[in-house]
Structures are given as structure tokens and as C-alpha cells.
Amino acid sequence: MKKWLIIASILVLCFIGFVSGAYIKALQPKKEAGNEAFKKAKEEGGLVTMEEFYLYNGQDSYSVIIGEGEKGTKKIVWLPEDKKKEIVVENYKDGKSKKEIMNIVKEKLNPQKIISVKLGMEKNVPLWEVTYLDESERFNYDYYDFKTGEWLKYYRSI
């Protein structure tokens, strides 16, 4: 009986190790993309530290980095994948925070669950993309202007 317990324990530990290794390996490309984006944000946007990193895929793809600038101010840098588009740099305090956007969504939409809130860019407008489950448990994507927090009605919910 002890042998079976030991064998079962070893198998469970091996399974946990395998799953953990696969998970870490799966996250590696995002980590590498974040490091590359931070290097570019340091050069182009004047960031010194990186606090958060988002990959945004809409009509265009952007890497978005939140961090501190040289003077200690919190900044956001939107790096477009398309080299022809301009890099956008904004002060974090000049727009709505993630927490403020979540409060707006909770008040107006009363979602069952907010899944994610991330920064992005559409039609040269910095925005917050909110993914949530509505009361019917359907996925929805709503977009809010970064500066004003207003709902951007020219995007549709899915």
C-alpha cells in the first residue's frame, strides 16, 4: 500500500512539474515581446521603468507599456507594430485610470464579471478595452476613451 502511495505521489509531482514547465514556456513569447517593447519605449518614449505591459490587437497591433519617465512621472507608450505609424506617449494622469474605467463599467453596465481591462489604440485614439461577461454570460468588448472615459460607440460589442 505504501508503494502505491509513493508511486502515485511521484506521478502527481511529475504531472505538476510538466504542467508548470509548459505554462512557463507558453508565457515566454509574451515576456520577450514585453522586453523588446520596453527597450524601444526607453529609446523612443523616455521610460526608465516598466510597470505594466499589454499586447493589443485591433485594426492595428500595439504594444503598450506603462512605466515611469525620467522625471518620475508615470507615462504610457503606445508602440505600433506598423513602423509607418507614430509612437504615442501620454502622461498617465492625463487620462482615466484602470480603476476609474472599471468603476464606469460597473456603474453603467452592471457586468456579471469583468475579465480584462487593457490599453489599446484604434483610429489614432488611445483607449481602454474592457472585456466582460454580461448578465446572459456573453462575452462583450467595449471601448472607452483614455482621456475622457467616454464610451466609444463606433465599436460594436460582440
pLDDT of 109-144, one tens digit each? 999 999 999 999 998 899 999 999 998 999 999 999
Q: Which pTM value belongs to this model? A: 0.81
Q: Are 130 and 117 in contact (CB under 8 A)?
A: yes
The whole-number pLDDT of residue 150 equals 92
Least confident of 16-20, 27-31, 34-38: 27-31
Q: Where would I find the beta strands (DSSP E) of the chain?
A: 52-57, 61-68, 74-80, 88-91, 113-122, 125-133, 139-145
Higher-confidence residue of 21 and 96: namely 96
Helices then strands (H, E): number in the chain? 2, 7
Can you name the residues that pair with 41 across neighbouring β-strands? none
pLDDT tens column, 34-77: 888 889 989 988 999 999 999 999 899 999 999 999 889 999 99
Judge whether residue 153 has pLDDT over 90: no
**Do residues 143 and 152 make contact, with C-beta atoms less than 8 angstroms apart?**
yes
